[in-house]
């Protein structure tokens, strides 16, 4: 079994903190690659599925995940059929019309030909027609769906989530046969945890791969704004492999004689990020040193997360020149030394601003050139 490398929620270099997951072999919003047999509407960054049948629609990402490998799967979703007191019509296999109140939708994971696990989300009112005592809540269920469907754990929430038709973040992580479920509107919160039993593990024995995705219960209409699958399938980088010859004194001497205007020290300027996916881990100073392919990014100081793992002179990133002037592809090393290279882009702006872009998470962090250092 591959060991899952915890990163204390760190995504990139010394300055970004992942709010929900480790970024390894990440896919996102690849709606063209999903597997589904029902009609769907793909509109830019959104996928919508309206379930008018009496059975679940299950949608899986096309990516095969090695069974028992650690991974995380997160979506930003809304149930557009979630009005208080409203029922939604479905047609069963016999052509009969039924009405569904409080339809469910959510995630599926460890999905195979034998079955799957599901995280089901639904909202309901305690006393809809008596406002003095009525309260609206959300129920989150962890369901074991192999042959016989059974709820193994559930929780009821009355805050921190959108209880109407707005968007929530929902995520599940699978590590060492342990399941963690998080959900929230503005801040993800762990609401369920569960350790698989020996019999539940045995069910999946011999299965070479599984998939992750989401499901739409009868009467539900789900809108997915973002879907992110992160799999830990990269080897760990050793601290020794990130050591360079650069000390602070050596950097000072090199920059004194350098004619390259981009070489030198850069310090944190500002950020534009979605805090559900990325959080700032510190205000960092880095150094850029030109190499034959672009630049090495050298850590100088400012780390706050996993600070003891880093010292001046370690390589924090690589910038590789593209065919476009002042545009680079990037490779970052997170706080636990893991490489991150999925859709990392770096640009110079007006010669004095360095912009690290992470489009997977609709985020960026900028650094400014330190002058007269």
- Model confidence over 293-304: pLDDT tens digits? 999 999 999 988
Mean pLDDT of 174-199: 90
Of the ranges 37-51, 293-307, 315-329, which one carries the lowest mean pLDDT score? 37-51
Of the ranges 72-76, 256-260, 339-343, which one carries the lowest mean pLDDT score? 339-343
Q: Indicate the Cα dihedral angle 40, 65, 341, 299, nearest 10°.
A: 130
Mean pLDDT of 161-174: 94
Confidence of residue 32 (pLDDT cuts 50, 70, 90): low
Q: Is pLDDT at 6 greater than 50 in this prediction?
A: no
pLDDT for 230 equals 82
User: What number of residues does the chain have?
Assistant: 373
pLDDT for 88 equals 96
Question: Cα separation of 117 and 145, whole Å?
Answer: 6
Q: Is pLDDT at 179 greater than 70 in this prediction?
A: yes
Of the ranges 35-49, 61-75, 166-180, 204-218, which one carries the lowest mean pLDDT score? 35-49
pLDDT for 26 equals 41
Phi, psi (degrees; rounded to nearest 5) at 199: -70, -35
pLDDT for 89 equals 95
Question: Cα separation of 109 and 83, whole Å?
Answer: 27
The pLDDT tens digits for 244-291 are 999 999 999 999 999 999 999 999 999 887 665 666 667 889 999 999
pLDDT: which is higher, 21 or 83: 83
- Write down all domains in the chain, each with its CATH number in brackets: 25-231 (2.60.120.200), 239-369 (2.40.128)
Q: Strand 87-91 relative to strand 97-101: parallel, antiparallel, unpaired?
A: antiparallel
Q: Indicate the Cα dihedral angle 324, 327, 331, 335, nearest 10°.
A: 180
pLDDT for 17 equals 35
Does residue 267 sit in helix, strand or coil? strand
Q: Is pLDDT at 83 greater than 90 in this prediction?
A: yes
**H or E stretch at 285:** strand 285-290
From 180, 1, 195, select the one nearest 74 (Cα to Cα). Answer: 180
The pLDDT tens digits for 102-145 are 999 999 999 999 999 999 999 999 887 787 888 999 999 999 99
Please provide the distance, in angstroms rounded to a whole number, between the alpha carbons at the two ends of the chain: 49
Mean pLDDT of 22-47: 58
Mean pLDDT of 59-71: 83
pLDDT for 338 equals 73
Q: Is pLDDT at 13 greater than 70 in this prediction?
A: no
**H or E stretch at 200:** helix 198-203
pLDDT for 8 equals 22
Q: What is the DSSP string of 149-196?
A: EEEEEEEEESSSS--SSS-EEEEEEEETTEEEEEEESSS-EEEEEEEP
Q: Is pLDDT at 68 greater than 80 in this prediction?
A: no
Mean pLDDT of 198-219: 86
Q: Is pLDDT at 308 greater than 80 in this prediction?
A: yes
Q: Which two tokens stand for residue 123?
A: 């909202």
Phi, psi (degrees; rounded to nearest 5) at 72: -135, 145
Mean pLDDT of 14-28: 36
Mean pLDDT of 83-96: 93
The percentage of the chain sitting over the pLDDT mark of 70, rounded to a whole number, equals: 85
Confidence of residue 2 (pLDDT cuts 50, 70, 90): very low
pLDDT for 187 equals 79
pLDDT for 34 equals 60
Question: Cα separation of 350 and 159, whole Å?
Answer: 45
Cβ–Cβ < 8 Å for 187, 160: yes
How would you write 332-366 as a 3-class SS string?
EECCCCCEECCCCEEEEECCCEEEEEEHHHCEEEE
Half-sphere exposure of 166 (CA within 13 A, CB side): 10
Cβ–Cβ < 8 Å for 187, 171: no
pLDDT for 9 equals 24
Helices (H), 204-318: 248-257
Question: Cα separation of 35 and 151, whole Å?
Answer: 25
pLDDT for 20 equals 29
Q: Is pLDDT at 313 greater than 90 in this prediction?
A: yes
Q: Which two tokens stand for residue 105?
A: 């939708």
Average pLDDT, whole number, for the chain? 84
Q: Strand 105-112 relative to strand 285-290: parallel, antiparallel, unpaired?
A: unpaired
18 sits in the region (left: phi over 0; alpha: psi -120 to 50; else beta) called beta
pLDDT for 47 equals 85
Question: Cα separation of 189 and 193, whole Å?
Answer: 12
Q: Is pLDDT at 42 greater than 80 in this prediction?
A: no
């Amino acid at each position: 079994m591959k060991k899952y490398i915890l990163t204390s929620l760190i995504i990139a270099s010394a300055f970004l903190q992942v709010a929900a997951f480790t970024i390894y072999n990440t896919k996102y919003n690849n709606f063209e690659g999903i597997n589904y047999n029902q009609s769907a509407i793909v509109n830019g960054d959104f996928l919508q599925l309206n379930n008018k049948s009496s059975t679940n629609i299950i949608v899986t990402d096309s990516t095969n995940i090695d069974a028992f490998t650690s991974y995380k799967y997160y979506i930003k979703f809304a149930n557009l059929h979630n009005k208080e007191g409203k029922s939604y019509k479905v047609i069963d296999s016999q052509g009969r019309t039924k009405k569904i109140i409080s339809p469910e939708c959510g995630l599926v994971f460890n999905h195979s030909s034998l079955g799957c696990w599901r995280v089901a989300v639904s909202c309901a009112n305690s006393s809809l027609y008596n406002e003095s005592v009525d309260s609206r809540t959300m129920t989150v269920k962890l369901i074991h769906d192999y042959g016989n469907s059974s709820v193994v754990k559930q929780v009821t929430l009355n805050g921190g989530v959108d209880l109407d038709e707005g968007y929530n973040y929902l995520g599940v992580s699978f590590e060492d046969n342990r399941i963690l479920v998080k959900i929230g509107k503005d801040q993800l919160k762990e609401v369920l945890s569960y350790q698989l039993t020996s019999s539940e593990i045995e069910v999946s024995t011999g299965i070479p791969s599984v998939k992750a995705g989401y499901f739409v219960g009868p009467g539900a209409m789900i809108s997915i704004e973002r879907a992110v699958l992160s799999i830990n399938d990269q080897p760990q980088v050793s601290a020794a492999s990130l050591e360079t010859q650069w000390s602070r004194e050596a950097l000072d001497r090199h920059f004194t004689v350098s004619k390259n205007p981009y070489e030198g020290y850069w310090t944190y300027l500002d950020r534009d990020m979605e805090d559900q996916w990325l959080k700032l881990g510190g205000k960092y100073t880095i150094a850029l040193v030109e190499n034959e392919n672009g630049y090495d990014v050298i850590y100088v100081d400012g780390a706050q997360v996993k600070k003891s793992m880093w010292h001046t002179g370690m390589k924090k990133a690589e910038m590789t020149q593209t065919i476009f002037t002042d545009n680079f592809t990037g490779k970052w090393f997170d706080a636990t030394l893991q490489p991150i290279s999925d859709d990392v882009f770096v640009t110079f702006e007006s010669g004095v601003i360095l912009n690290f872009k992470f489009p997977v998470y609709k985020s960026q962090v900028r650094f400014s050139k330190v002058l007269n250092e």
